[in-house]
C-alpha cells in the first residue's frame, strides 16, 4: 500500500505545472513541458498562419491563454530573448499583449491573452447569424485597428511595420474591441524579402504594389493593407472576390465616390440591410480609397486615418488608383480580370508584376486630368 501511495505522489508531482507570476506584468518565461500540459499537448488548435499555429491553453488559475508555436525561425537564443523583451514592453488597448514565451532548443513559442470572440475573419466571411456585427461595432473595429497600428508606427521606440494586416490578425475581446495580433513577428524573420514574402504568400490580396515589386517598404504598406481591410469590413466579402459581372469591389467604391456620395449603402454587407450611419460610411469609403493609392506618399498616416474616421478632419474625394485603371477593373477600361493563385491579378491589359516593368508601368503621370487636379493629398480640419 505504501508503495502505491508513493507512486501516486510522484505522479502528481510530475504532472504539476510550475507556478507562474502572471499578474506581475513582467514577461513570463515558460518551460516547454508546462506549455504542453497547459495546452493538453496542443490538442485545441485555434488557427494557423505563415508564422505558425495557435493553440488554446488554460492556466492553473483557469485563465485562458493562446499559445503560438512558431516555425521557420533562424534566430539564436540571445537575439530571440532580446526581441521578446522589446515586444513584451509594447502595451496598448488595441494590441494583443505578449504575456510570455518559451525557448528550448529549436522550440520557440509565444503566449498571449486568449480572445474569447476570436478573429474578425469569423464575423465577416461566414453566414452564421450568431456572428453578425452591426455597423456601430464595425466602425468601432475600424477605429480601434487604426489606433493599434498608429501606436506601432509612431509611438514605439522604433517604428514597427506589421506586414500582415488582415481580418485573421484582428482579434476581438469580450466587448468587441479590436486587438491587432502578430505585430513584431516579421521582425523575428528578418528583413530578407524572399523569406518574408514566402511566409505571408497566402495573403497577397493585402500587399501594396511596392511590396509586390520588391521595392523598399515602409509603414505605408500597413496603410495599404488597412484600406483593403476596410473594404472587407464594410462589404462582408473578401477583397479578392469579383461580382458575377466581373466588377471588383474596391474599384466600384472608388468610381462611386468620384460620382458623388449618394448610394454608398449598396456596397454594404447585405446582413446590415442598409443600416449604417451615412457620414461614417462616406468617411470609411474615402479612407479606404486613399489608403490603397498606388504611391505610398499619397496614402495618409494612421494618425490621419483616426482623425478622419472620428470626424475631426475632412478629406477630399480620392482619385481612382491607377493600378485599378491599368488592370481594367473600372468602367473606363473594362476587361475581365483574373485572380492568380498567389492573389496577384492578370488581364489582357495588365502590367507585368516584376521590377523591370516598374519604370514604365509606375510613371507618376496620372492617366486622367481629374487625378492630377486632386493631388496632393489635402485634409481640412473641422
Q: Of the listed 34, 150, 164, 168, which one is catalytic?
A: 164
Place of cell 478632419: 313
Residue matched to cell numbers 466587448:
175
* Chain centre distance of CA 248: 21
Q: Which whole-number Å values give the CA distances from 226 to 39, 169, 299, 320, in the listed order? A: 32, 11, 11, 17
User: 59 Cβ partners below 8 Å, 6+ apart?
Assistant: 20, 22, 38, 65
Does 21 participate in catalysis according to the annotation? no
**What is the C-alpha separation between 99 and 44, in angstroms, rounded?**
19
Give the CA distances from residue 311 to residues 127, 234, 281, in Å, rounded to whole numbers and listed in that order.
Answer: 32, 18, 11
The CA distances from residue 345 to 196, 323, 357, in Å, are 20, 10, 15
Binding-site sequence positions: 68
Cα(first)–Cα(last) distance of the chain, in Å?
Answer: 82
Q: Grid coordinates representing 341?
A: 493563385
Q: Give binding residues for ATP as ranges.
A: 68
| Active-site residue set | 164
Amino acid at each position: 500500500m505504501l508503495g502505491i501511495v508513493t507512486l501516486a505522489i510522484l505522479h502528481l508531482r510530475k504532472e504539476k505545472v510550475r507556478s507562474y507570476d502572471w499578474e506581475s506584468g513582467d514577461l513570463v518565461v515558460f518551460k516547454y513541458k508546462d506549455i504542453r500540459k497547459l495546452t493538453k499537448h496542443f490538442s485545441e488548435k485555434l488557427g494557423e498562419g505563415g508564422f505558425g499555429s495557435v493553440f488554446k491553453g488554460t492556466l492553473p488559475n483557469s485563465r485562458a491563454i493562446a499559445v503560438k508555436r512558431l516555425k521557420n525561425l533562424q534566430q539564436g537564443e540571445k537575439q530571440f530573448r532580446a526581441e521578446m523583451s522589446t515586444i513584451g514592453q509594447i502595451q496598448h488597448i488595441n494590441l494583443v499583449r505578449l504575456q510570455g514565451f518559451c525557448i528550448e532548443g529549436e522550440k520557440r513559442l509565444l503566449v498571449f491573452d486568449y480572445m474569447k470572440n476570436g478573429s474578425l475573419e469569423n464575423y465577416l466571411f461566414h453566414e452564421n447569424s450568431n456572428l453578425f456585427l452591426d455597423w456601430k461595432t464595425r466602425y468601432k473595429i475600424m477605429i480601434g485597428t487604426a489606433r493599434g497600428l498608429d501606436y506601432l508606427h509612431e509611438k514605439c521606440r522604433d517604428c514597427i511595420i506589421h506586414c500582415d494586416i488582415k481580418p485573421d490578425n484582428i482579434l476581438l475581446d469580450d466587448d468587441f474591441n479590436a486587438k491587432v495580433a502578430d505585430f513584431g513577428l516579421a521582425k523575428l524573420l528578418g528583413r530578407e524579402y524572399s523569406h518574408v514574402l514566402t511566409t505571408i504568400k497566402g495573403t497577397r490580396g493585402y500587399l501594396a504594389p511596392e511590396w509586390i515589386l520588391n521595392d523598399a517598404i515602409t509603414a505605408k504598406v500597413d496603410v495599404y493593407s488597412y484600406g483593403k481591410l476596410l473594404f472587407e469590413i464594410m462589404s462582408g466579402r473578401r477583397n479578392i472576390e469579383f461580382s458575377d459581372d466581373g466588377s471588383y469591389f474596391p474599384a466600384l467604391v472608388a468610381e462611386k465616390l468620384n460620382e458623388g456620395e449618394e448610394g454608398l449603402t449598396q456596397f454594404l454587407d447585405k446582413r446590415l440591410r442598409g443600416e449604417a450611419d451615412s457620414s461614417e460610411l462616406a468617411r470609411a469609403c474615402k479612407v479606404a480609397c486613399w489608403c490603397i493609392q498606388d504611391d505610398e506618399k499619397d496614402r495618409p498616416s494612421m494618425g490621419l486615418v483616426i482623425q478622419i474616421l472620428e470626424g475631426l478632419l475632412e478629406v477630399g474625394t480620392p482619385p481612382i488608383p491607377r493600378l485599378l485603371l491599368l488592370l481594367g477593373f473600372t468602367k473606363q477600361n473594362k476587361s475581365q480580370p483574373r485572380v492568380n493563385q498567389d492573389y496577384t491579378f492578370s488581364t489582357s491589359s495588365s502590367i507585368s508584376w516584376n521590377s523591370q516593368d516598374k519604370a514604365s508601368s509606375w510613371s507618376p503621370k496620372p492617366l486622367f486630368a481629374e487625378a492630377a487636379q486632386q493631388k496632393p493629398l489635402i485634409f481640412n480640419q473641422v
